[in-house]
Each structure stands twice: as C-alpha cells, then as structure tokens.
Structure 1
C-alpha cells in the first residue's frame, strides 16, 4: 500500500458500509486517520473492526445538523484540522411520478442535499487550506431512471455543488470534485432491488447495458475517491468523474 495520506485526517460520511466503508478502508491503508459516520451503531462497530485502529466512528444522521456538529466535535477532540472530506452519506427509494409523497421528497432531499451542504459547510473551520472535498453524486443525474426522479434530482444538485463551491473556496485553494458511480455491488443496492434473486436479476440485466459487462465493486469506486483527494489530482477541480464502466457514456 502507498502512503499518500500518511497522518492525514479524513472524514467519510456513510462510512459503515458499501462505497463509504471501502473508501475508509482505502484511506486508512494509506496512513490516514479516518472518521466515519452511520446511523446504525452495530454496523459502525463492525466497520471500525474492518478498518483498523486508525478509524473512529460517530453515530450520526447527516440530515440532522446537531449530529453533524457532534461529528466535528469528535474530530476536533483528537485533531486540530481536517485534510479530506468525502461527503458520501445518502440514499433513495423508488417512487414514480403520481406516487411521490411529501415524506419521500423531504427524506431524500434531506439526506442527499441538505446533508451534503451542511457536512461540507460545517467542516470548513477545520478543513485545511489546500484540502480536498469529494462529493458522491450518481449517473442517475444524467440518465433517466423510471420511478427514481427525486433521487436523481438530488444527485444533480450534488454535482452542481462542486461547480459552485470551487468558486466560493478558491481563495483557500480547496478543491471540490464529484464522483458519479454507476451500478455498484453494495448491500444498499441489493435492498433497493428487492434482495435475493430479484436483486441478482436486476443487476444481471443492468450489466448487459454496461460496456464493461459487469457491475462495479466498492473498492473500484474508492480508488477514484482517493485519486481525487490526493496530490495526484492537484490540478483537478470541479469535475464529475464517472465510475460506471462506461454506462453513462453511451
């Protein structure tokens, strides 16, 4: 393993499973101190065991500002600064137009949009000048998906944040980039697709639409996050980097 992040302080929201967990593991393997969040304490405890001694877990719902404050209070108790923020927490459910409820709308925008805004904004006092922010968007922001319009709209907003925040933060030389994963093998995706044989069938069908012919793995997404967060991407700013096997390009 490399040491691009030796003794750097990294925050990964939604770091107890899937892409977040794989990314937290990758940062820790390169020497970072990693703070992860999640809503389920048991999953957080299991994630810390997987990541190792450089991980600290904070139970938090990132749509709640008080929980975000607790996260950064925990960081500040151990470190004087943050080097990288990966705003990854979020999720969505299917709801076709005609069946969208206020609760569905508020919950999805609360977690994906409000959560991202305040995760980043509240990190700024601790985030070092020259630091890096990576936002988790999605290919759904550029490709139509049945019954997924609210989630897709939230991810379009997340991508827009990167374009605008690089201007707000230019005097501090903080880079802001977005990744847009495609179909990725996670527990959350399997749950969204109904689990078991149902999920496997949906993923198999989607794989036929991906030029690489398969779904992605969380570790593959993590490698791209680390690239964007590292000095290897020192002149990359405001981009949306698709990590989808080519699906959004056809």
Structure 2
C-alpha cells in the first residue's frame, strides 16, 4: 500500500537515495531541503509522485511554513524521516559561534521541530525515523559537537517513542555508518581535512581503511523498517558499513 513519506535533506546523499528508492515502490514523496533547486531537481526526476518544499529545519518558522504547505496537499502523512544534518570537524577551542549553533540547530533541534509538526498530520500507524550516527559509540576527535547532537538525537528518539505510544505512532532511531555516493567531495578546507585525518589516526581510526557503504545500499535497509507488521517495532537499528568479501 502506498505511503506518504516526508524526507528532510532530500536534495543530496542519503535523502535523495531514499526518495529514489521509495519512488520505485509507488510511494508519495515530500522532499524537504534548504535549497529548493536541489529538492526540486529530485522531484522533477521522480515525477508526479514527488513534491519539493523549501525548508530549513533549523528554523521554526521555516518548518511550520513547510508543513503547512504539505498539509494542503497531504492532510495526513504516514512517515517522517529526519535525515537532514550537518557534518563538520573542528575543535571547540577554535569553533565559531556559527559552527556550534548550526550543528546543534540543524542536527538536534531540526528533528524536534519537524517531528512536532508531523505528529499533527499522523495517526495510528505513523512512523518517525531519526537518522543518527555510529560515531556516538566511540571516541572521534574533532567531532565532539557533531557527536553530541547525534547522541541527543538518540535520547530524543527514545523519549519520543514512549511519548507517542498512546497514539500508535512508531519512532525508530537509525544509527548509520559511513556512506559514499558518486560525485561527492569533501567540503572541508584541505588543512582541516588533514588535521582531522591525522587526529583520527592517532586515536586509532584510519579513515582511509574504514568500511564505507553506498547510500543506495543504506536506503535499501530502510524499506523493511517502513513495512514492519503492526505488532512489531524496531526502536533502535544500527546500520554499520562492512567490506564486501
């Protein structure tokens, strides 16, 4: 049965891969992104089953406006995937106000704001999936703010799950590992990328040798989560990259 699925950060990466995957099954997609041209491009690719909506998840006003737009076309939605996130390595001692606040508002407040609006459009059987990170489970230098936002998201997912139990709405926390897609390049300054890699190596993490999954493979793993029988729930899912062999 076709579902109405809202995906944040749907213009690139995992969000775009999820949209493409669900479109194959005939689901109706609502694609949210800060840059309208990116999500509109994905929507145009997918055709009439997809709707693009400009939305900065870090802004309460933008989120409210986006979900008001969604409600005019889809008074009821089935799934929200909180995928939008910023990833940037830096040291706290060197961080700007913007670096700290952008990660906190996008990675942690964003899912809270979107969930709040989505709940009003959901009924029993609704499902919220929060994309967290495997990095919260171990020491990862230069990522203390990123890890803190994702650890907060883990805790938010657990609390929201219990809060929404009476309404019959599922909440799943998905800890994802490293991912790649064609054409993706690092957005970090070369000096920072070198410092980050060196610090990770000194902490015992060789980023060049760690397993990495393709975004399309990770997107495939989301399909069964959305199709669970009504008497089954997956509260926490770990999707770790592994080397083929």
TM-score range, shorter chain: 0.7 to 0.9
- Deviation of 1:187 (Å): 7.4
SS in 2 for 1:133: strand
Is 1:220 the counterpart of 2:217? The answer is: yes
Comparing 11-20 with 90-99, which one deviates more in the overlay? Answer: 90-99
Encode CA deviations 1:7-62: one digit per residue, 9 max, x unaligned.
Answer: 32110000111000110111121111100111112212221123232000001111
Is 1:235 the counterpart of 2:236? The answer is: no
1:244 to 226, 232, 240: 240
- Deviation of 1:186 (Å): 4.0
The answer to whether the 8 Å contact 2:213/2:242 transfers is no
Distance in 1 separating the partners of 2:162 and 2:178 = 31
SS in 1 for 2:127: strand
Q: How many residues align?
A: 231
Is 1:54 the counterpart of 2:55? The answer is: no
Match of 1:142 in 2: 137
Match of 2:201 in 1: none
> What is the RMSD computed on CA atoms of the aligned residues?
2.3
Q: Which residues of structure 2 form unaligned runs of 5+?
A: 198-205
Distance in 1 separating the partners of 2:229 and 2:45 = 26
Q: Which residues of structure 1 form unaligned runs of 5+?
A: 1-5
Match of 2:76 in 1: 81
Match of 1:107 in 2: 102
Is 1:171 the counterpart of 2:172? The answer is: no
Distance in 2 separating the partners of 1:91 and 1:39 = 12
The answer to whether the 8 Å contact 2:175/2:239 transfers is yes
- Deviation of 1:243 (Å): 1.5
Comparing 34-43 with 228-237, which one deviates more in the overlay? Answer: 228-237
The answer to whether the 8 Å contact 1:137/1:159 transfers is yes
Distance in 2 separating the partners of 1:224 and 1:167 = 24
Pairing 1:20-31 to 2, within 5 Å after superposition:
20-31=15-26
- Deviation of 1:133 (Å): 0.8
Scaled by the length of structure 1, the TM-score of the pair is 0.84
Distance in 2 separating the partners of 1:70 and 1:39 = 13
Distance in 2 separating the partners of 1:96 and 1:69 = 33
Q: 1:234 to 1:52 in 2, by over 3 A?
A: farther
Distance in 2 separating the partners of 1:71 and 1:188 = 29
